[in-house]
Amino acid sequence: MDDSVNREERRTARSYIAGHDVGVAQEPVLSARLSLDDPATCERLSGTTAPGDHPAILGYCAIASPDDVSAATAAAHAAARRWADTPTTTRFALGGRFCRLLERLRGELVSLMTAEGCPARIADWQLDSLLGLFGDEACRWYRGLVDRQWRQGDRRLVLRYKPDGVLAVHPPSNAPVFSATTGALHGLLAGNAVVVRIPRKFALSTAFLLRDVLVPAMEQVGAPPGALNFFGAEAGPVLQAWLADPRVDDILYYGSSERGLRFQQACLRHGKKAVLELSGNDTVVVWHDAPVAPAADALAEAFHASGQLCIAPNRALVHPRVADEIVEAVRQRASALRPGYSDDGVTVLTPVPAERHLAEVRAAVAGGASLVCGGRRSTVSGEPHRDGAFLEPTVLRVDGLDAAASLPITREETFCPVLSVVVPGRRDDDALLSDMIAFLNANPYGLRNSLWTADPAIAERFLATVHNGAMLKVNQPHLDFVPPLPSHGGTGVSGGVYGEASYLFLKTAHLQAAVVAGFPT
C-alpha cells in the first residue's frame, strides 16, 4: 500500500492555547513505513524544518516555545475557576458528547494512527477502550462517586470531590493518543483545567483526537476557552517549567518507575501532587483446571504492541500439571504472529530497540531459563535478520519459583515481546497455591494480576489473599479495561507511595465534607 500523502492533504498539528490555534507547524511527521523501508532517509528528514516535498511526510507539527508553555498554563489557570463551578451534570455529560464525536470520526483517526505506526488492531482496541471508559453509562457511575449526600436527623451531610485546579498531563510516547486523552478527560470531568504535552511520536493523531474530537465536545457543553490546552514539545524542559510554575497543581506522569519515583520526589519539593502511571510486571496465573485455549490467548496478549504496553502480561505462573500443554499452546500462538506494516489490519507487533532486549533474553538463558521460541531480530517481512527492526515474539520457560526470583527478566518490566512461563515445583495444591500467591505478592510492581481456573474456591482465595496490584481478573482477557471499574493506578513502584487502583477524576481532586442544618427539609 502506498503511504505517500499529497501536499494539500497533509495535516498540521498546531498548539491550542486559550481557545486558539497558535504556532507554526513546520517539523515534519513521517510515515511509519519510511522508518522500515528507508531508515536512512527517515533519519535525514527527522527533526528538519525544511525537508522538501518528500511523499512520506504525513504532515507537520508545531514545537512550543517556553513562552507557549507558560501561556498554556496561564490560560488554564484563568479558566479553572469557571470550569470548576460548572455543575457536575454538565461536566460529566462531556464524556458522552466526546464518544459520539469519536464514533463519527473514528475511521479517519484510525487511518492517521496507523500511518504514524500504531497497528490497526491496537488502534481499534484503544478507541474501543475510550468509548467504554467515557460512555454515558460509565459517566453516570463516575458522577455518583463525586457527590454524595444523605440526611442525619435534621442535618444534611455532604461528601463532595472538588477539583485541584490545573492538571498538567505528561503522556508516554508509546501510547499518547489513548493516554493523553484519558488524562485530559478525567481531569476535565473532575473540574480541572488541563494542559497536555504532546510527544513527537503520534503527534498528528494525538492532536487530531484532542482538537477535532475533544475540543468540539467541550464547546457543546459550554466549557470556557482555556479549560483545555495542548502543545508539542520535548519532555524535560516542560516538566521543569511545570514544577516551577505555582499555577500548576497536579502533574499526571507516565513513564518508567525509576524516573517516575524520582519525579514524585521533585513534585513534593515543589508542592505539587504527582499522579503516577509507571512500569508494570503483570502476571497471569494458570491453575490445573483452566481452559487451555482462552488462557493461552490471554498469555499471548504479552506480544500485543510488541509488549510495549505497561499492562501487558510479562509473566505466566502455571500449575506444573498443565505446564507442558500451556507452553505449547503459547508457543503456537507466538510463532503464528508476524511483523508487518501497521496498516495491514493483521499485525499486532511494532518495532522495538531489539539489541538491548535480546541481551536480556541471552542473560536469562545463561541464568537457567529455556528458550521455547523466538529470540531473534526480524525484518518487516518476518525474515530473521541481525539488523531487523522487530523482535520475534519470545517465550521462555523458567522452572522453579526461586529460579524465577533470581532472573532480572522475570523480576523487572521487559517492555518487549517476551513472556516468561514460570513453572513451580510439584507440591500438594494447597501449598502450591500459597507459594504462587506469595510469589505474586512479592512483586515490587503492581498493575494487574490474572487467574484462570474452573474452581470458584481457588478464585475466591486468589481475590482474598493477593494484595499486589490495582486490578485482579479471573477468567478474563488481561489487557481489556472493564468500565466502570478504575482504569488506572498501581501498587508498589507502579504507582508510587500513594499507589492504588484509581479513577483519575478522583485522584486529581480532593474530598471535602460539609454539614448543613437550620433549614426545613
Q: Which residue has the cell 479553572?
A: 80
Residue 157: enclosing H or E segment and its boundaries?
strand 155-163
3-state SS track over 116-149: CCCCHHHHHHHHHHHHHHCCHHHHHHHHHHHEEE
Percent of the chain with pLDDT over 90: 90
The edge-to-edge listing of strands for the beta sheet with 509-516 is 147-152, 155-163, 509-516
Give, for 357, the enclosing helix (H) or strand (E): helix 354-366
Kindly tell me if the per-residue pLDDT of 514 is higher than 50. yes
Let me know if 412 is a catalytic residue. no
Question: Alpha-carbon distance 439 to 13, whole Å?
Answer: 46
268 has pLDDT over 50: yes
pLDDT reported for residue 24: 87
Q: Is the pLDDT of residue 42 over 90?
A: no
Measured CA to CA, the distance from residue 311 to residue 129 in angstroms comes to 14
Domain coordinates in residue numbering, the chain: 66-277, 282-483
Q: Cα separation of 154 and 141, whole Å?
A: 28
66-277: CATH number:
3.40.605.10
pLDDT at 327 over 50: yes
Instruction: Supply 123's cell numbers.
Output: 488502534
Per-residue CA distances from 306 to 8, 201, 279, 344, 479 (Å):
34, 16, 15, 16, 13
Query: How far apart, in whole angstroms, are the C-alpha atoms of residue 108 and residue 416?
Result: 29
Could you report the per-residue pLDDT of 279-324, keeping only the tens digit for each?
999 999 999 999 999 999 999 999 999 999 999 999 999 999 999 9
Q: Tens digits of per-residue pLDDT, 492-505?
A: 999 999 999 999 99
pLDDT by residue (tens digit) across 439-449? 999 999 999 99
Nearby residues of 52 by Cβ (< 8 Å), 6 or more positions away? none
192: Cβ–Cβ under 8 A, 6 or more apart, which residues?
80, 83, 84, 163, 164, 165, 166, 167, 249, 250, 508, 509
Specify the pLDDT at position 84. 98
- Helix and strand counts by DSSP (H, E) for the chain: 19, 24
> What percent of the chain lies above the pLDDT cut of 70?
97
Quickly state the pLDDT bin for 354 (edges 50, 70, 90): confident
Find the mean pLDDT for residues 248-265: 97
Please check whether the domain covering 282-483 is classified as CATH 3.40.309.10: yes
What digits encode the pLDDT tens for the residues 220-251?
A: 999 999 999 999 999 999 999 999 999 999 99
Q: What is the pLDDT of residue 192?
A: 98
pLDDT at 51: 53
Q: pTM here?
A: 0.95
Same fold, 66-277 and 282-483: no
Residue 208 grid coordinates: 487530531
Partners of 397 in beta bridges: 370, 421
Q: How much is the CA Rg of the chain, to the nearest whole Å?
A: 24
Among the listed residues 277, 301, 392, 413, the single catalytic one is 277
Mean of per-residue pLDDT scores for the chain = 95
